[in-house]
């Protein structure tokens, strides 16, 4: 299939916002989305962006049933391993269902890797839900390994009241 992979621009935030919601629906958590198109614009395209985006686009004659030409995205940012140094974290990787199986997901992920390596990173990290077999299979096929299963690392989070109390030194 004919597609291009390019850096996201401010104008892409509307489509990224749409696709974030589609991905959340696939992960069965669409009620959890608090982010808006405006948040993406402010946080991704200001002086010190919190993230970077890549868009997969098809030509007009291949547009989706709903008329979209922006059919996939990856959102990533730079992180740090105190053992290995610079790393890149891929927060989202998504391709609209009707465009899957055509190499777009792999091309997006490959682009993140290429940009990460160019920035001096030696790891590409991300998370997957353990029931998401199709994604797990896709990633394993590309040569990644499961740090949680193999080393026992658990993802932990503080938010809401717990984060408030922690910041105030209450607990």
Contacts to another protein from residues 50-69, by CB under 8 A: 50-51
CB of 91 closer than 8 Å to CB of 51? yes
Minimum separation from the CB atom of position 133 to another protein (A): 12
Member of 45, 63, 64, 92 binding another protein (CB under 8 A): 92
Stretch that binds another protein, among 7-15, 42-50, 60-68 (CB under 8 A): 42-50
The site map against another protein for 150-169 (x = CB under 8 A) is -xxxxxxxxx-xxxxxxxxx
**What is d(CA 88, CA 114) in angstroms, rounded to the nearest whole number?**
11
With binding defined as CB under 8 A, does residue 10 bind another protein?
no
**What is d(CA 124, CA 53) in angstroms, rounded to the nearest whole number?**
15
Minimum separation from the CB atom of position 12 to another protein (A): 13
With binding defined as CB under 8 A, does residue 7 bind another protein?
no
Cβ contacts of 120 within 8 Å, gap of 6 or more: 85, 86
Q: Is 139 a catalytic residue?
A: yes
Q: How wide is the angle at C-alpha 14 spanned by C-alphas 2 and 138, nearest 5°?
A: 50
Cβ contacts of 29 within 8 Å, gap of 6 or more: none
Residues that are catalytic: 139
């Amino acid at each position: 299939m004919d597609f291009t992979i390019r850096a996201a621009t401010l104008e892409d935030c509307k489509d990224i916002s749409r696709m974030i919601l589609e991905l959340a629906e696939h992960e069965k958590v669409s009620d959890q989305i608090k982010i808006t198109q405006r948040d993406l614009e402010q946080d991704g395209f200001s002086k010190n962006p919190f993230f970077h985006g890549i868009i997969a686009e098809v030509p007009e004659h291949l547009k989706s049933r709903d008329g979209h030409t922006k059919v996939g995205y990856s959102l990533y940012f730079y992180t740090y391993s105190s053992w290995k140094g610079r790393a890149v974290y891929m927060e989202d990787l998504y391709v609209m269902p009707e465009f899957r199986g055509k190499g777009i997901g792999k091309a997006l992920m490959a682009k993140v890797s290429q940009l990460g390596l160019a920035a001096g990173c030696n790891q590409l990290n991300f998370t997957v839900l353990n029931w998401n077999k199709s994604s797990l299979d896709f990633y394993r096929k590309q040569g990644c390994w499961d740090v949680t299963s193999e080393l026992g690392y658990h993802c932990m989070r503080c938010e809401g009241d717990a984060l408030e109390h922690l910041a105030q030194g209450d607990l």
